[in-house]
Each structure stands twice: as structure tokens, then as C-alpha cells.
Amino acid sequence: MSSSRERPSLDTVIEKIEEALTVLISVRSTSTAADSSMIELLMHKLKSGIPYYQRTAAREISLLSCYNIDNRIIFAKAGAIPLLTDLLTVADSRTQEQALAALYWLSIPDENIGIIVSFGALPGIVQVLKEGSMKAREKAANTLLNLSVLDENRADIGAVGAIPPLLLLLNEGTSSEKESILNVLCSLCVYEGNRTRAVRAGAVHMLIELLKERQGCIDIGIAVIKFLCLISLCREGLVAIRKAEVVRILVEAIGIGYTPAEPQSDIQELAIDFLETLSLYPDGKVAIGEAEVVPFLVEAIGSGSSKSKENAAKVLVELGSLDQKYLVEAQEHGVTGKLMDMLQHGTESEKSAAHDLLEMMSMV
């Protein structure tokens, strides 16, 4: 009688053995600084051309660099970075994943960042970002976040095609993984040229879908708005935001998807800050007007944080300069009394914004 259990493949057996060895290595690695003999042995393994040796060496470098900060510099000086970079494009996915994990830890010290980029690691990291396992892709994204600390690297990362696969990752993973990807994209889009790349790769649509999910995750909502703020700073971004009715969807998401929302919540404050930025541009001003957000702004003036009150009043001033109907609507929703309260009890910035809006309404 044959057994119904399938025999594990050789690759599975090897992987289990490696995992067991990793446990032993991690125990000794928690406080171990790599000595010269250990470094020499690991460098020899990386150069061997034998996938098993290369993989185990990369794994041990990753562990040693994870648990001991000094090792991140030691291995970089020993020449590990170009050897690990070469492994990013090998056929064996497990070797590739371990090499990337090692590079992630080595990319944390600022002094290693330039070395990693100079040895051409970016294309290999992006390849993993496109084709690797979910775990490897997330590690690739976090490595890019480390490398993007330097301004000059943001342009290079965008140029090698990192933004489209990063955006695709927003469709997968947990909430924390999505938030991590958004943080990487925000870092990259500090560079102006990457904002256009993100818009052309469909960023606005992706962000709308995240807002529409309405899962109540405040952290994702905040990360989405920060990304929208950056995208809105380029012309194509403004056009895409208006065309996709982002403002309306954003306000609905805050009012419905994140309930019960606290009046002074970070997400409301950031959303109104985003609207204030948009209102400074003609297309942005029109987009806000089309979204019918006056009631939302009036509510913020009455019960928002100090910054929200000030920026909401500024947005209404900008809308009033576009069309007086927005001022009439604000008055119908009781904004005058809320502004008078700001004049009496607000900060100097609040008082100034309230005064400007009241003065404009007096001319209606």
C-alpha cells in the first residue's frame, strides 16, 4: 500500500537545512563582529561561482549585518558589495533573494550608499522588484528607500524604471506593506522628474483605488495624501488629479472610509493641507470647486485643528476668487459665525485667514 504523502523535492530539503543553519548562525551573530578569517571565508564563498556557497555566504552576511551594526561597514570595506550585486541577476531565485537581503542591511549606513550605486546595483534591484517573490520585492523596495536618502540617487532610481513596479506592488500585500511602498514612492518623488514618471505610470488611478478601499487604515490614507501632494506639484499631476476627481473621492474617503474620524485627526489636517496646495494653481482651484467640498471646509473651520481651520479658510478665499458662488454657499452653511470665533480665539495665523475670508465675503 503506497503512502499518500509526497516526498519533498531536493530543493525543499536543501532549503530546510539552510533554514536550520540560519538559526544556528543567528544565535552566534547577535553580537559577533566579523573577524578576518570569517570575512575571508565568506568572500571566498561569494566568489566561488557555486550557488549553494554563494547563497549561504550572502545569508550569513545578511545575518551578521542585521545583528551587528559595525559589520555593515566591515563587509563593505571587504568588497562584499560588488559580489552581492552580481548575484542579483543570477538564475537561482533563492541566491538572488539572499543577496538582496544582505545589500539591504549594507545600504543602511550612509557611507555605503554611494558604493552600492557606483557598482551598478540599481538595475539588479529593480529586476528583483519586477520578478522576485513578494518578500524579495518588498526587500528591494526598502533597499531603494535607503538608497534614496541621497538626492542624486532619486533621479537614477527613477531612470532605471523603479516606479512602475513599485506602483504595481500597491495592488498586493498587507496594509503595512502598502504603506511601506508609498513611503518609497514619496521619497523618490521628492525629485521633480519622478513625479511625471509616476503620473504616466498610473499613480493617480492606483491612489484612488487605495482611497476607495475604505479599510479605515489611517496610516495608508496619510501616505496616499502625502504622495498626492508631491504629484500635484507637476503639471501632468494636476491635470490627472482634476480629471480623476481625486478631491471628491478624498473627501468622501475621509468622511466615510475613515469614520469615526476625529475632528483634529492627522488625515483631515493633511487633506486640507493638500487642498490648500492645490488651490494655489488654476487647475487645482477648478478641481476643488468641481468637487463640492465647501461643506467639508466649513466644518473644518468650525471643528478642525488650528492648521486645518487656517488652511480651510485660505482654500475658501481661493475659491471665492474663482467664483463668488462658493462664498455664498459657505455663508449658507454658517461659516460667518465660525470665522468670528476664529477672530476672537484663534492664533494670529487663524485670525489673519479669517479676516481675509470675511473681508472677501463682505464684498459679495
CA distance 363 to 156: 52
The full set of domains in the chain, from first to last, is 37-161 (1.25.10.10)
Confidence class of residue 30 from pLDDT cuts 50, 70 and 90?
very low
pLDDT, average across residues 175-186:
92
pLDDT, average across residues 314-318:
97
Give the pLDDT confidence score for residue 20 in this predicted structure: 53
Give the pLDDT confidence score for residue 327 in this predicted structure: 96
Give the pLDDT confidence score for residue 258 in this predicted structure: 40
**Comparison of pLDDT for 124 and 21, the residue scoring more:** 124
- Report pLDDT digits (tens) over 336-355: 999 999 999 999 999 999 99
Residue percentage of the chain with pLDDT more than 90 = 72
Instruction: Enumerate long-range contacts of 47-54, CB under 8 Å, 24 or more apart.
Output: 47/83, 51/90, 51/92, 51/95, 52/14, 54/87, 54/90, 54/95, 54/99
Q: Lowest-confidence range among 1-5, 124-128, 216-220, 358-362? A: 1-5
Rounded to the nearest integer, the mean pLDDT of the chain is 88
Examine the pLDDT at 105 and tell me if it is beyond 60.
Answer: yes
Give the pLDDT confidence score for residue 333 in this predicted structure: 95
Give the pLDDT confidence score for residue 2 in this predicted structure: 45
Give the pLDDT confidence score for residue 91 in this predicted structure: 87
Examine the pLDDT at 45 and tell me if it is beyond 60.
Answer: yes
Contact residues for 285 (Cβ-Cβ < 8 A; gap 6+)? 278, 279, 318, 319, 321, 322
Confidence class of residue 17 from pLDDT cuts 50, 70 and 90?
low
Examine the pLDDT at 27 and tell me if it is beyond 70.
Answer: no
pLDDT, average across residues 53-74:
94
Examine the pLDDT at 1 and tell me if it is beyond 60.
Answer: no
CA distance 88 to 140: 10
**Comparison of pLDDT for 192 and 253, the residue scoring more:** 192
- Report pLDDT digits (tens) over 264-315: 468 888 999 999 999 999 999 999 999 989 999 999 999 888 999 999 999 9
Examine the pLDDT at 9 and tell me if it is beyond 90.
Answer: no
pLDDT, average across residues 9-24:
55
Confidence class of residue 22 from pLDDT cuts 50, 70 and 90?
low
Give the pLDDT confidence score for residue 282 in this predicted structure: 92
